[in-house]
Amino acid sequence: QVQLQESGPGLVKPSQTLSLTCTIFGDSIISGGYYWSWIRQLPGKGLEWIGYVYYNGNTYYNPSLKSRVTISVDTSRKQFSLRLTSVTAADTAVYYCAREGLAYNWFDPWGQGILVTVSS
Amino acid sequence: DIQLTQSPSFLSASVGDRVTITCRASQAISNYLAWYQQQPGKAPKLLIYAASTLYSGVPSRFSGSGSGTEFTLTISSLQPDDFATYFCQQLNSNPLTFGGGTTVETK
């Protein structure tokens, strides 16, 4: 059974960089069968897709965040990571990592989520 | 970006009720739509993809239909575990987008 787990700081100061890591259990990241994605849920429930990384390092980012986002992959550690620069209070959210299908871009499974608060 | 509008935003229902949630897309997306269920404090879970294909392990009381711009999620007989928030997501084009959610609460 595939499981994903997010890790990283829960508090980030404004203007700094948010960095999160997702560790994959029970699946091979190099199988090439999926994208590996980050999604966030803003207060009041709205879901926003941030972007994905493929096992070979190819990425696609939501244009709304593209200038501030980097998603990378470490196949040896079975991890992929999110960096979001120049954060503001508007970036306060629960951040999820998820496996994304290739043919149909659904998300399953999701990590349990990590609340990141941007505050001084 | 493709906008998804869900209705209603909130729905009051009782165990055993038939529940229908609608998702409308701002442009045609064929059958490239998924539905998720989210319990409070938990991550969303995939219920249906390709508009009407039930994901593995999902109870058969859940069903999806639609194509183009209008889609529905139906719960044939609401169970206690089904009180939750439901989201649609379009799979048609990047950036992938979600509907605003429908919360099903106890009447």
Q: pLDDT digits over B36-77, tens only? A: 999 999 999 999 999 999 999 999 999 999 999 999 999 999
- Chain A positions touching B101 (Cβ under 8 A) are 45-47
Task: Please write the tens of the pLDDT for every residue from A14-24.
Answer: 999 999 999 99
Per residue in B19-40, pLDDT (tens digit) is: 999 999 999 999 999 999 999 9
Using the predicted structure, report yes or no on whether residue A45 has a pLDDT greater than 80. Answer: no
**Pairing, β B102-106 against β B10-13:** parallel
Cα dihedral A84, A76, A22, B54 sign: positive
Determine the distance in angstroms separating the CA of A76 from the nearest CA of chain B, rounded to an integer.
26
Q: Round to whole Å and give the CA distance between B16 and A84.
A: 45
Distance from CA of B29 to the nearest CA of A (A): 12
Chain B interface mutation, best of A5, A105, A112, highest count of B Cβ atoms under 10 Å? A105
Task: Report residue B34 as tokens.
Answer: 């998924």
